[in-house]
Chains A and B, each alone.
Chain A
Amino acid sequence: MVSLRAVRLVAWAMFRETVRDRVPLSIAAFCAVLLGVSYLISQMTAGQDLKIIKDLGLSSLSVFGLLIAVFLGINLVAKEVERRSIYPVIAKPVTREEFLLGKYTGLALALVANLAAMTAAFFAVLLFVDVATPAFAKSGWPAPATDPWLLAAIGLIVAELLVVTAIALFFSTFSSPMLSALLTLGLWVAGHFNADLRRFEAVVDVPALAWIARGMYYVLPNLAPFDIKAEVVHGVPVAWSHVGLTLAYAVTYITLALLAAVAVFRRRDFK
């Protein structure tokens, strides 16, 4: 039985450690600067400043969030083992499951806190553009500058990053940080090409291969549906059912990855 109190304590320690760590903060600061710079870049884009600021802002959130998720996620367990700080922790009345879940929750909270800071900076830039733009130019916008649907796009980016963090944690339980980073990034790339596996029979003429590819489509994380950036920027409606089902998929996949991580971590010998 997992004790929620123990998970909370590990999570809080992890959260504080991550927030104290200067890496995510510097990335967040860089993102804020980048968003400011995007306003300057937009001056040479023939009136497309809002679209470009939205594209750049959403992509920055996604890319910098991915860097935080991967490079902190792969160190979740490896760093503890390398520093040998794992021994006193597992000697305490904290089970390995609680330790892992706490680590994941702490990093997830830190990730959400970082992305919330970046989102605030992003909306500040958008609000500035909104105020600085004359009414006639706004009439050509497909969606308002501070469109609430942007939050839906950011919500799905966060969900995708939490899936990636869970995958990074899984790899972190049995491999070195470098290998974990490569495997996680490899799965992230595969997750964006996943739809091709579904249509593999159009590429090869071997039915068995097509079935294997189709099987992989369902097993590997499918990350492309998390991307609704283009729709939101162009004001194209996105069905709530798509958002809801994608979030449910994220919760399921995260649980699966965490259970796999627990299964491996339980058997790990630290001698």
Chain B
Amino acid sequence: MAPPGSTRLLLAMGGLLAVAIALQVVRDRGWQPYEPATPLLWVQSPEAVARASLGHRNLVADVYWIRAVVYYGSQRLSGRGADYGLLYPLLDFVTTLDPRFRIAYRFGAIFLAEGYPRGPGRPDLAIRLLEKGVAADPARWEYVQDIGFVYYWWLRDARAAAEWFQRASAVPGAPSWLRLLAATTFASGGDRRSSRQLWQQLQDTADNDWLRRTAAMRLAQLDAMDLLDRLNAAADRVRGVPVDPAGVPFERDADGRFRLSPQSPLWPLPQEPPATP
């Protein structure tokens, strides 16, 4: 048996909650919480944060990692207005707080190296982050391989890439295919075949979905480049509108040559790395 007046009390509470919600809706129409014009890190020193975390530095590193992922995602969505200025400092925080945070180095390097506007286009910072990872855990051949990868794909320096792949293959416990990869890269430089081999290896050995999807997208881009070569070689005989590997129709320029549509998820296609001198 409920005490007398309970129903009225509940009704009053429900009414007050409704009023509070209505007030919030009205207030939010004319008020935005303060946000600095340029996003900033309130605390500048990862070492200070590490000390203040009182034995919970891994958890604080996770918080900064989530912030870095959300920051990268939101800037990427903002397109041409993207500003990735805080990305490296955030990743530096994460990896100082938790020097064994493997994915922060590997994904962080991918985020940093990605060309503008999909990323800041800073392969130099990607390499710096990965070198920090190598210093923290020299047994991780993946970081060394990733440095080679940044040289290969983003800096288009096949010789430096091959040297890093060779260094990675010398790390105890590294897979044997790395030696083959180093040899192929030394021999054939930056041709599309070695690119395909590199991405295929990454896709086959990736231990998470995001990396697999990225590798699959890059492989689809290489397929699109092969297809475009074949189409353009016989452009005057092609009838209809062929589609790229993502299913988006190719466009034709004024000369009748095929090109990838900017609407395609594969756009923009990477530039061809030059062959090894």
Residues of A within 8 A of B (CB): 41, 44-48, 51-52, 55-56, 59, 62-63, 136-142, 189, 192-193, 223-224, 227, 229-230, 233-234, 236
- Within the complex, the shortest CB–CB distance from A189 to chain B, in Å, comes to 7
- Contact between A56 and B62, CB atoms less than 8 A apart: yes
* Stretch from B16-24, B53-61, B215-223, B250-258 forming part of the interface with A: B53-61
Complex Cα spacing A234 to B100, Å: 7
Interface size class of B (residues with CB under 8 A): 20 to 34
Complex Cα spacing A45 to B103, Å: 10
- Contact between B208 and A192, CB atoms less than 8 A apart: no
Q: Assuming A45-B62, A45-B65, is B55 touching A137 (CB within 8 A)? A: no
Complex Cα spacing A36 to B85, Å: 34
Find chain B residues with CB under 8 A from A229 CB: 55-56, 58
Interface 1/0 per residue, B127-163 and A, CB below 8 Å: 0000000000000000000000000000000000000
Residues of B within 8 A of A (CB): 51, 54-59, 61-62, 65-66, 69-70, 98, 100-103, 107, 206-211
Complex Cα spacing A142 to B103, Å: 12
Please name the residue on chain B nearest to A134 by beta carbon. B209
- Contact between A233 and B58, CB atoms less than 8 A apart: yes
- Contact between B58 and A47, CB atoms less than 8 A apart: no
Complex Cα spacing A1 to B160, Å: 77
Complex Cα spacing A223 to B55, Å: 9
Please name the residue on chain A nearest to B69 by beta carbon. A46
- Contact between B208 and A47, CB atoms less than 8 A apart: yes
Find chain A residues with CB under 8 A from B66 CB: 41, 44-45, 52
**13 more CB-based (< 8 A) A-B contacts, given A46-B103, A59-B56:** A46-B107, A47-B209, A48-B65, A48-B103, A52-B62, A55-B58, A63-B56, A136-B207, A137-B207, A192-B54, A223-B55, A229-B58, A230-B100
Please name the residue on chain A nearest to B73 by beta carbon. A44
- Within the complex, the shortest CB–CB distance from B137 to chain A, in Å, comes to 9
- 27 intermolecular pairs with C-beta atoms under 8 Å apart: A41-B66, A44-B66, A45-B62, A45-B66, A46-B103, A46-B107, A46-B208, A46-B210, A47-B208, A47-B210, A47-B211, A48-B62, A48-B65, A48-B103, A51-B101, A51-B103, A55-B59, A55-B61, A56-B62, A59-B58, A63-B56, A137-B209, A141-B207, A192-B55, A224-B55, A230-B98, A236-B100
